[in-house]
Structure 1
Amino acid sequence: MFLKQVKVKGKPYYCIVKSVRIEGKPRHEHVKYVGSKEEVIKKLLKGDKAVMESMKVSQVKDQGEVDLLYRIAEKLELRSTINGHVVKTAGVDVGAQMVVLAINQCLDALALDNVDLWYHHTILEERLGIPFYSLSAENLCKAMDYIYPPIRDQEGEVIDARDNAMPIKKDLVEKLKDLFDIKLDALFYDITSTYFEGNNCIIARLGYSRDKKNGKKQILVGLVVTREYRFPLFYSVFEGSTSDMTTVSDTLKTLQEEFKVEKTLLVMDRGMMRPGNLEELDGSGFDYVCGLKKGEKAVKKVILEAEGLEDEENRVREDMSAVDMVREFAGKRRKLVVYKNHKQAKELKEERDIKLSRAMKELNEYAAKVNTGNYKKVEKVVAKVRKLKKGVSKFIKTDITVKKGRVRLLVKKLDDRVKEAEKLDGKYLLLCTDLGLPKEDVISAYFDKDGIEKAFRSMKQHGLRPVRSWTLNRVKASIFIGYLGQLLLSTLHYMLDKAGLKITPERALGYLKWQKKVVLESEETVVEKTSVPELEAREIIEKLETAKLL
């Protein structure tokens, strides 16, 4: 049996027929009248047995989450903006391919070899009108080369890349200003690492790995985002062994020269700071809030001198108190805010006390054994002592000597160092150049930077980690795609908030994930139907459309 279309007074209707032979000739025998196309769909959804048996599902395509991200990409004019800065005369345009890759980054983050099949099973193929076989891994790689065209040496090796991404990023920031009135008056800057599987990238180096992948080469990625909604402004790529502190100069230069930022509050982590950086930041004209490493003598001195951290009136959060002062620091009057995380301070003290107590007990027992024994190998005792002191070595003094050919060991707990550590537990110093900014606002600005860490996690989860065996230009292009993906998610975050939906972008996409487009076929009829979305998914789309955000 199959569904057949018939026309009644010029209008299409459907009935179920079956093939039979009458007097040796094939004929269609009427089984059941169904009605209009809408009636067909209704009966399918109600589970009408005859209608269901007359058709088969030929395709099921992802629609809900894919279509929402595509509509956001259209709102941002990603495709045309990218195409405005690359010249490609034949084949699928670069902008369309970057949009596909950015949406894939947000949802599945597949290897390039699998993107074409993923695309074929989504609504994107219909939206873009580009056949899936045009998005082969080879074509996608060639499209990436338009974003960062390779520069090769005489042997043909990629040694650098021209940057077509920067003007795209600048245009997108202007688009965000026009669409959403985003402000650049407060920006966050931080840096992360991503490791490599392969050896083809000339800037991959061994360095401090935030991914805990010691022994693997890496690159560093610096990212600047807005304080509100974490819209990404731009990223920078550095050699894997670059110190975080040395990246600040490039970031300031890009903000001023490329994005024409004249005044902003720049918020950075303590890993970015050194005396030279303070001088550069002072010369930039920007206000800034940054953490300072308490290992520095000047920083430790300020923290130890701070008073009032135990007073209830200085509570700024449930488990945090803060005091501020304006004083000379690093050659200039600055606002200094000392804060204490009381929960962390308690945990640090308890952990240290347990480790120190255990270490002293084991060391004293070992010292008694050494001092009454016939130990002659100093290196063996040194190795054992080092092992027992691990984690608390700065609080214990050990003296290993040799008398009359025998090793002797003395152990002493350094109480002064323990007391100083207790005074520093959970305490940190923030520096702010805006002398009038209340300490509560300084604390809020600094801890809001956790949002950039979420942006990094999102980019890594959506394809930035690990980077495969790629050349420099394609490494940079892969980061560009991650940047586009984060731009889509940040825009969705903004839209959800403005529509009064207090859910994360990831949660919203999760609700929409189950909305599919189903294609049913019989011998003569094709019926397409979008599955009914869940209540939450319908509410998301309805509120975004009502607020005219899509």
Structure 2
Amino acid sequence: MYVKRSTRRMADGRTVGYLQLAHNEWDPVAKVSRTKVLYSFGREDQLDVAGIRRLVAALCRLLEPGETLTATTPADLRFIDSRALGGAYTLDGLWRALGIDAAMRRLLADTRMEPRVERILFALVANRALAPSSKLAATRWIEHDVVIDGLDLPVVDESCYRAMDWLINAEPALGRIVFDNTADLLNLEVDLLFFDTTSTYFETADADVPVARDERGVRVGDGDPAVKETGFRTWGRSKDSRGDLPQIVVGMAVTGDGIPVRCWAWPGSTADSALIRQVRDDMRDWSLSRIVWVADRGFTSEQNRRYLQKAGGHYILGEKLRGGTPEADAALSRQGRYRHVADNLQVKEVRLSGDLTDDRFVICFNPEAAGRDAAIRARMVAILEEMIDGSDKLGRDKRAELRGVISTKPGLKRYLRTTPGGLLRIDKKAVEAEANLDGKFLLRCSDPKLSAEDIALGYKQLLEVERGWRDMKSIIDLRPVYHRAEDRIRAHVLLCWLALLLIRVTETRTGQTWPAVRDELQRLHLGTFTGPAGSFRQRTELTTSQRKILTALGLPEPRRVFEATPATS
């Protein structure tokens, strides 16, 4: 298929050209090739150029970006390569809008590190968001697959490691600057801060050698009386159900809008209970307004509650319903009506006697969750009944063996009762007690001004942290971690946090999910061409969707031609 040009002499002697879209067809009868016109564009001097551009753009959407550049390259030019431009360009625009580049350069000015470190760290963050890989693979990605503005090549893995080592020391000051700039950019009202932890494991059978650490898991010198010996990658309570592998604990503070403001890493054996006190201390000097801390039931100890109330702070904490705590038992025994808050949420505030607690308690009820809880319990009871059916005929040792098997299954053992004679039965009282908890969760709050509805909805936003953990593990690929040194592991976590920050800012301002935005932006490529006059780099045409994303983020369109180098004689 080709464009055919024909001419015609007009009455006034002028020669006018006509353009047609044609292709050659074989005539099997005449045994010759004949030209067949598919479409006539009309006179050459009256050509609808805009219409042709629209046609070319529509056809180019059927091709990959690199193929588009090849197809539209003039015959005297050679197409050299094509690299993804859109994703890194957009992330870099947000990186600069948040002032991360300027902050890093200021902090680097006081060291012997080269300014190039800032560009290397941005490239590593962009790699986590766009094509997560090991640092060695990231250097190849930076050199061959992506356009990082202002980064001279090549980038070797040693340069990446040096930059990461510097990031560890700069993080306290950098984190404060990033938070302030993010709050200004997004006009954040930071009155609720959500905190939660997760764990990530390592594919190794060996834990790290124990070293002296303080109560926060930070390495200290020998002789300090407040130290304990523990490694960084070590065994602990795995939230990934991989207790057979060494792990670390990662914590994150998130605003109600889902913006991660800071991230921490601790040894894998660190218990959740004391961590929120360190988090509060680390953020004590930040320019925050009156803060209400929101955390799950793993942080609800009395020591934590009193600590969070220092300097006028408050908290919303999940309270354990199971375990027979006086607060939970008293709250659940109170009568009262639920008030509807949202489509699937009802709340009821209960008042406890002053000698028990001065905190406020709010019982939340989700009818949909109650139905799911009842269905799961019915299935568990049915499985348990099947397992103990006929066990009365077994000998005492065999029944004890069966009871031991059931005790390893938390979902079943809570419904098992053993009679004085050693027989196995369904514990009907336990079933009834669990039914009373279907779809319910209990909240404890110290703020006297928040309504019960605000307490419940505030706690429900804790799901934003859980969504952050999911994205860190599935989109940014927090795991697998290829590093072994503690500082490199901590730096890796910080890179993942910065990538998640840029992702959340993008989602907040565009109203789209990051995978959708990323896939659209990565179709914008930069091609390199060379010819008799020299070489130049030119991007593909922006699509309507790409323009909308850049507009929503307040970023200008990338220039059409990035660089041009004339040929040397």
TM-score w.r.t. length of structure 1: 0.77
Whether 2:465 is the aligned partner of 1:452: answer: yes
Q: Partner letter of residue 315 of structure 1?
A: H
Q: CA deviation at 1:343?
A: 2.0
Which residue does 2:128 correspond to in 1? 105
Which residue does 1:32 correspond to in 2? none
Q: Partner letter of residue 542 of structure 1?
A: T
For residues 207 and 102 of structure 1, the distance between their equivalents in structure 2, rounded to whole angstroms, comes to 29
Whether 2:332 is the aligned partner of 1:304: answer: yes
Whether 2:115 is the aligned partner of 1:115: answer: no
Q: Partner letter of residue 375 of structure 2?
A: E
Whether 2:402 is the aligned partner of 1:384: answer: yes
Which residue does 1:291 correspond to in 2? 318
For residues 515 and 204 of structure 1, the distance between their equivalents in structure 2, rounded to whole angstroms, comes to 40
Distance 1:237 1:434, change over 3 A: same
- Of 547, 550, 553, the residue aligned with 1:541 is 550
Whether 2:482 is the aligned partner of 1:476: answer: no
Distance 1:316 1:180, change over 3 A: closer
1:262 touches 1:285 (CA, 8 Å); kept in 2? no
- Of 340, 343, 356, the residue aligned with 2:381 is 356
Q: Partner letter of residue 323 of structure 1?
A: K
Q: Partner letter of residue 501 of structure 2?
A: L
For residues 514 and 455 of structure 1, the distance between their equivalents in structure 2, rounded to whole angstroms, comes to 26
1:290 touches 1:431 (CA, 8 Å); kept in 2? yes
Q: Secondary structure at the match of 1:140?
A: helix
1:294 touches 1:429 (CA, 8 Å); kept in 2? yes
The alignment yields a C-alpha RMSD, in angstroms, of 3.1
Whether 2:338 is the aligned partner of 1:325: answer: no
Which residue does 2:103 correspond to in 1? 81
Whether 2:512 is the aligned partner of 1:489: answer: no
Highest relative contact order (Cα 8 Å, sep 6+), 1 or 2?
1
For residues 84 and 58 of structure 1, the distance between their equivalents in structure 2, rounded to whole angstroms, comes to 38
Q: Partner letter of residue 336 of structure 1?
A: F
Which residue does 1:25 correspond to in 2? none
For residues 344 and 73 of structure 2, the distance between their equivalents in structure 1, rounded to whole angstroms, comes to 64
Q: Partner letter of residue 330 of structure 2?
A: V
Distance 1:72 1:361, change over 3 A: closer
Whether 2:157 is the aligned partner of 1:137: answer: yes
Q: CA deviation at 1:137?
A: 0.7
Q: CA deviation at 1:417?
A: 2.2
Distance 1:547 1:447, change over 3 A: farther
Whether 2:244 is the aligned partner of 1:235: answer: no
2:200 touches 2:479 (CA, 8 Å); kept in 1? yes
The more displaced of 264-273 and 412-421 is 412-421
Distance 1:88 1:305, change over 3 A: same
For residues 273 and 484 of structure 1, the distance between their equivalents in structure 2, rounded to whole angstroms, comes to 29
Distance 1:93 1:299, change over 3 A: same
For residues 263 and 547 of structure 1, the distance between their equivalents in structure 2, rounded to whole angstroms, comes to 36
1:312-461 equivalences under 5 Å are 314-328=339-353, 332-367=357-392, 369-370=393-394, 375=395, 378-387=396-405, 390=409, 391-399=411-419, 410-460=423-473, 461=475
For residues 288 and 250 of structure 1, the distance between their equivalents in structure 2, rounded to whole angstroms, comes to 15
Which residue does 1:57 correspond to in 2? 79
Which residue does 1:34 correspond to in 2? none
Percent same amino acid at aligned positions? 20
2:550 touches 2:556 (CA, 8 Å); kept in 1? no
1:328 touches 1:334 (CA, 8 Å); kept in 2? no
Q: CA deviation at 1:264?
A: 0.8
> Gaps spanning 5+ residues in structure 2: where?
1-48, 60-67, 210-230, 558-569
Which residue does 1:521 correspond to in 2? 530
For residues 330 and 522 of structure 2, the distance between their equivalents in structure 1, rounded to whole angstroms, comes to 52
Q: CA deviation at 1:59?
A: 1.1
Q: Partner letter of residue 466 of structure 1?
A: P
Distance 1:488 1:353, change over 3 A: closer
TM-score w.r.t. length of structure 2: 0.75
Whether 2:181 is the aligned partner of 1:167: answer: no
Whether 2:298 is the aligned partner of 1:268: answer: no
Q: Partner letter of residue 342 of structure 1?
A: P
For residues 132 and 71 of structure 2, the distance between their equivalents in structure 1, rounded to whole angstroms, comes to 39
For residues 503 and 379 of structure 2, the distance between their equivalents in structure 1, rounded to whole angstroms, comes to 44
Which residue does 1:183 correspond to in 2? 189
More helix by share: 1
Which residue does 1:96 correspond to in 2? 119
For residues 240 and 173 of structure 2, the distance between their equivalents in structure 1, rounded to whole angstroms, comes to 31
Q: CA deviation at 1:494?
A: 3.5
Q: CA deviation at 1:279?
A: 2.3
Q: CA deviation at 1:486?
A: 1.8
Q: Secondary structure at the match of 2:390?
A: helix
For residues 139 and 71 of structure 2, the distance between their equivalents in structure 1, rounded to whole angstroms, comes to 35
Which residue does 2:280 correspond to in 1? 252
Q: Secondary structure at the match of 1:164?
A: helix
* Deviations 1:164-210 (CA, angstroms, capped at 9, x unpaired): 21011112222224433323222111111121235558312211112
Which residue does 2:253 correspond to in 1? 224
Which residue does 1:159 correspond to in 2? none
1:219 touches 1:239 (CA, 8 Å); kept in 2? yes
For residues 370 and 254 of structure 2, the distance between their equivalents in structure 1, rounded to whole angstroms, comes to 31
The more displaced of 79-88 and 441-450 is 79-88
1:265 touches 1:289 (CA, 8 Å); kept in 2? yes
Distance 1:459 1:397, change over 3 A: closer
2:254 touches 2:465 (CA, 8 Å); kept in 1? yes
2:351 touches 2:361 (CA, 8 Å); kept in 1? yes
> Gaps spanning 5+ residues in structure 1: where?
1-37, 149-162, 402-408, 497-501
Distance 1:354 1:478, change over 3 A: closer
Q: Secondary structure at the match of 2:309?
A: helix
Q: CA deviation at 1:50?
A: 11
1:514 touches 1:533 (CA, 8 Å); kept in 2? no
Q: CA deviation at 1:328?
A: 4.5
For residues 51 and 224 of structure 1, the distance between their equivalents in structure 2, rounded to whole angstroms, comes to 50
Which residue does 1:208 correspond to in 2? 237
For residues 177 and 356 of structure 1, the distance between their equivalents in structure 2, rounded to whole angstroms, comes to 50
Q: Secondary structure at the match of 1:321?
A: strand
For residues 486 and 388 of structure 1, the distance between their equivalents in structure 2, rounded to whole angstroms, comes to 41
Q: CA deviation at 1:439?
A: 1.7
Q: CA deviation at 1:307?
A: 3.1
Q: CA deviation at 1:474?
A: 1.1
Q: CA deviation at 1:101?
A: 1.0
2:525 touches 2:539 (CA, 8 Å); kept in 1? yes
The more displaced of 391-400 and 107-116 is 391-400
Distance 1:206 1:284, change over 3 A: farther
Q: CA deviation at 1:247?
A: 0.4
2:331 touches 2:351 (CA, 8 Å); kept in 1? no
For residues 69 and 444 of structure 1, the distance between their equivalents in structure 2, rounded to whole angstroms, comes to 32
